[in-house]
Structure 1
Amino acid sequence: MSLNAYDGILLSSFGGPEGQEDVIPFLKNVTRGTGVPEERLEEVAHHYRAHNGVSPLNEQNRQLRAALEAELAARGIDLPVYWANRNWSPYFAEAVTEAHAHGHRRLLALVTSAYTSYSGVDQYREDFVRCLDETGLSDEVSIDRIREYFDHPGFVTPFVEGIRDAVALLTDEGAASRIHVLFSTHSIPDSAALASGPEFGPGGAYVAQHRAVAGYLSEEAAPGIPWSLVYQSRSGPPSQPWLEPDINEAIAELAEMEYTAVIIVPLGFVSDHMEVIWDLDTEAMATAREHGLAAVRVPTPGTHPAFVSGLVDLVIERATEAAWADRAAVSALGAWPDHDRVGARTIQPQTA
């Protein structure tokens, strides 16, 4: 299959440290310009230090890159996959310079963020603009990105399977008399959530998208079981309103309501990076144990075949400018719009 609109894929992610000496420099990259004090960085640093200073995200992205290459090859699509990060090497400038050196000029970014928010959408666009400016390639290289895929079947299917497995496990263990499903995502400031799409009301598009997917998953994988949307990984000052409730507070309240088990669904996350394995697998699971609740954490999409296949479907959708009716989406919100191109806008797709 020939996708003449693009000649390379840019797998774009957050990044993470690769050793103890990288932890503080990485966190300074993440918080650059925000005024976060050193003592707060040290608080977060111990999450990474407990894992030898290594973020699992980088290895997960290496595996995702390999899985994408295999899926593209299986479909006969000849597109190289470059991998780059916002906050740690390989940086965007490194990957784009490499792609340019190999003769590639029309890149399509696969961003490891499924929802609409500043950090998941606008900040990546800013990264791409800055990268092309820094490398001097703004007139030669263009970068498009796939749309938000929060309700694409490829992203949703792994959660459906995981929730069903969790219900079955808790049932087999005799803990299913009163289950509650907690769909967890990253908390962001209320103001940032509203800015993601004011037309959706309080919480903006960010909350609306999560609620839409959670509702679908509940009906598809756990009908009749109550659910809540909860938040994790808050990092702002106490004086600034952020999305609530916190997952740990929600677990404590469920225990008081005499629930016997919780299923934790990391709905806002693509892979098992540090905020999943620390905030959920460590802290939230400890809170559940403390309150006598059985708990199961559902896997993230990671390199699940449906997710990898879905990303390639999204590449084809964007490259072929698929009709709106042909764009896959499982929620009532439907497929999200495409994003404008960054960079060499005058470049036209080559003909075969």
Structure 2
Amino acid sequence: MTEELKPFAADTRTVDPTTYDCILLAGFGGPEGQDDVIPYLRNVTRGRGVPDERLEEVAHHYRHFGGISPINEQNRELKVALEGEIAKRGLALPVYWGNRFWAPYFADALKELHADGHRKVLVLVTTAFSSYSGCRAYREDLATALEETGLTDELQLDKIRQYFDHPGFVKPNIDAVLSGLHELKAANRADDAHVMFATHSIPSAAADVSGPRETRPDGTPVATGGGEEWFAGGGWYVEQQRAVAALVMDAVAQEFPDTPWSLVFQSRSGDPSTPWLEPDINDAINALDDSVSGLVVSPIGFVSDHMEVAWDLDNEAQETCEERDLAMVRVPTVGVDPQFVSGLIDLVEERHVGSDGGAAREREALTALGPWQDVCPTDCCLGRGAKPTIASA
């Protein structure tokens, strides 16, 4: 990316800081026992007509780990870490936690915080990048939860912006990749190492409509009318991830110059005939030149080491590397890294001003793409038809 390539209006879709009552940590959710696995997968695939026999094909990933997804415990740890950082800064903001697909559900969290007397809620979503599944689906499900609970007129839910290029997300990923390369160096495998940044594959059609639609990711204006595709090539979802990966590798180059890297995809599902983002990480590993001595895999698209990281990378990608006798180091996600936790509360302080009326924190971004928007256009990251959302303009 060059400095002039900036999504039109994304940095102007901001809202004035105000005083909030609490924070809602919005997660995906996951099963916490063998009996939960199929009901959880039914929740995730609701409305798509997926039979239980197909769900059982995916369930074995969870059953391998006792039916327990790590994601809920990781969000409990993140909630505690956020509460600690909030207390350190003297902010009077309790943290609630709700999920899209498993307990505690969004509706439960909204009823709880409403009963506690809160009315203005700042929502912190556990995804960093722009896509239907990573942003809009959360905003839709929160709007649905408001309607289901009868709290639409009682609660104001405002979402914190996507934070893919905030220093709190980028810097722990730089540290992680550096650590992985040092591990390969200690094993004499760093001279011809490769870095793969892994993110969740999504349908190509969904990627192409991710993010605001006034410009293409290459910065050129979008022609209107004629029914044309507004752009192709992965949309802002892919562009954001490429931009962050490039930032990481620019920093890494100070110690490991000229290390090649690539953006790869994982965890695709659904109809095999539907185009999804490629290359799959296992195909990309097999396509590496025989001269590659070691591989660092960075799960850049995720904020915690949940099931898809644990299974698709630590099992499947690791096995692919072993078949090639290729040393692989899978580095951690940002998790509860103090820099990440601190950065999330920096994002809170961009939007929240305390009762003392002090100034809001300056908005930070490390790429030319940001800071990203606080509110989204109604056609941003469209999924299966437009539905009501929170944080839309």
* Normalised TM-score (structure 2): 0.84
1:298 paired to 2:312: no
Partner of 2:279: 245
> Which whole-Å CA distance do the structure 2 matches of 1:309 and 1:324 have between them?
15
Question: Which deviations, in whole Å up to 9, do the C-alpha atoms of 1:206-242 show, x marking residues without a partner?
Answer: 0000000011101112441000000000002111000
Partner of 1:121: 135
Question: Which deviations, in whole Å up to 9, do the C-alpha atoms of 1:249-297 show, x marking residues without a partner?
Answer: 001111x442111100000000000000000011111111111110101
> Which whole-Å CA distance do the structure 2 matches of 1:7 and 1:277 have between them?
36
Q: CA RMSD in A?
A: 2.1
CA separation of 1:322/1:220 partners in 2, compared to 1, >3 Å: closer, same or farther? Answer: farther
1:205 paired to 2:211: no
Partner of 2:366: 330
Give 3-state SS (helix, strand or coil) of 2:251's partner.
helix
Of 307, 314, 318 in structure 2, the residue corresponding to residue 281 of structure 1 is 314
Question: Which deviations, in whole Å up to 9, do the C-alpha atoms of 1:122-173 show, x marking residues without a partner?
Answer: 1111111111101101111011010000011101111111111111111111
Partner of 2:153: 139
Following TM superposition, where does structure 1 have runs of at least 4 consecutive aligned residues deviating by more than 4 angstroms? 320-325, 340-345
Cα deviation, residue 72, structure 1: 0.1
Compare 274-283 and 319-328 and name the one that shifted more. Answer: 319-328
Of 16, 25, 29 in structure 1, the residue corresponding to residue 30 of structure 2 is 16
Compare 221-230 and 310-319 and name the one that shifted more. Answer: 221-230
1:168 paired to 2:168: no
> Which whole-Å CA distance do the structure 1 matches of 2:84 and 2:112 have between them?
21
Name the structure with the higher helix share: 1
Question: Which deviations, in whole Å up to 9, do the C-alpha atoms of 1:68-87 show, x marking residues without a partner?
Answer: 00000000001110000000
1:220 paired to 2:251: yes
Compare 36-45 and 316-325 and name the one that shifted more. Answer: 316-325
Instruction: Say whether the 8 Å CA contact 1:327–1:335 is kept in structure 2.
Output: yes
Cα deviation, residue 331, structure 1: 1.5
Partner of 2:91: 77
Compare 207-216 and 313-322 and name the one that shifted more. Answer: 313-322
Instruction: Say whether the 8 Å CA contact 1:141–1:343 is kept in structure 2.
Output: no
Instruction: Say whether the 8 Å CA contact 1:175–1:294 is kept in structure 2.
Output: yes
Instruction: Say whether the 8 Å CA contact 2:140–2:389 is kept in structure 1.
Output: no
Give 3-state SS (helix, strand or coil) of 2:30's partner.
coil
Instruction: Say whether the 8 Å CA contact 2:140–2:390 is kept in structure 1.
Output: no
Cα deviation, residue 324, structure 1: 11
Instruction: Say whether the 8 Å CA contact 1:182–1:230 is kept in structure 2.
Output: yes
Using CA pairs below 8 Å that are at least 6 residues apart, which structure has the higher relative contact order? 2
1:265 paired to 2:298: yes
Instruction: Say whether the 8 Å CA contact 1:144–1:342 is kept in structure 2.
Output: no
Matched-pair identity in % = 58
Compare 318-327 and 231-240 and name the one that shifted more. Answer: 318-327
Compare 261-270 and 323-332 and name the one that shifted more. Answer: 323-332
CA separation of 1:343/1:273 partners in 2, compared to 1, >3 Å: closer, same or farther? Answer: closer
Give 3-state SS (helix, strand or coil) of 1:278's partner.
helix
Residue type of the alignment partner of 1:315: V
> Which whole-Å CA distance do the structure 2 matches of 1:251 and 1:344 have between them?
39
Give 3-state SS (helix, strand or coil) of 1:67's partner.
helix
Give 3-state SS (helix, strand or coil) of 1:230's partner.
strand
> Which whole-Å CA distance do the structure 1 matches of 2:320 and 2:367 have between them?
32
> Which whole-Å CA distance do the structure 2 matches of 1:167 and 1:123 have between them?
36
CA separation of 1:70/1:244 partners in 2, compared to 1, >3 Å: closer, same or farther? Answer: same
Instruction: Say whether the 8 Å CA contact 2:29–2:72 is kept in structure 1.
Output: yes
Which stretches in structure 2 are left out of the alignment for 5+ residues? 1-16, 218-230, 377-387
1:97 paired to 2:82: no
Q: Superposition pairs for residues 17-56 of structure 1, below 5 Å?
A: 17-56=31-70
Instruction: Say whether the 8 Å CA contact 2:375–2:391 is kept in structure 1.
Output: no
Cα deviation, residue 37, structure 1: 3.2
> Which whole-Å CA distance do the structure 2 matches of 1:56 and 1:36 have between them?
24
1:107 paired to 2:121: yes
Of 148, 157, 181 in structure 1, the residue corresponding to residue 162 of structure 2 is 148
Which stretches in structure 1 are left out of the alignment for 5+ residues? 346-352
Residue type of the alignment partner of 2:267: S
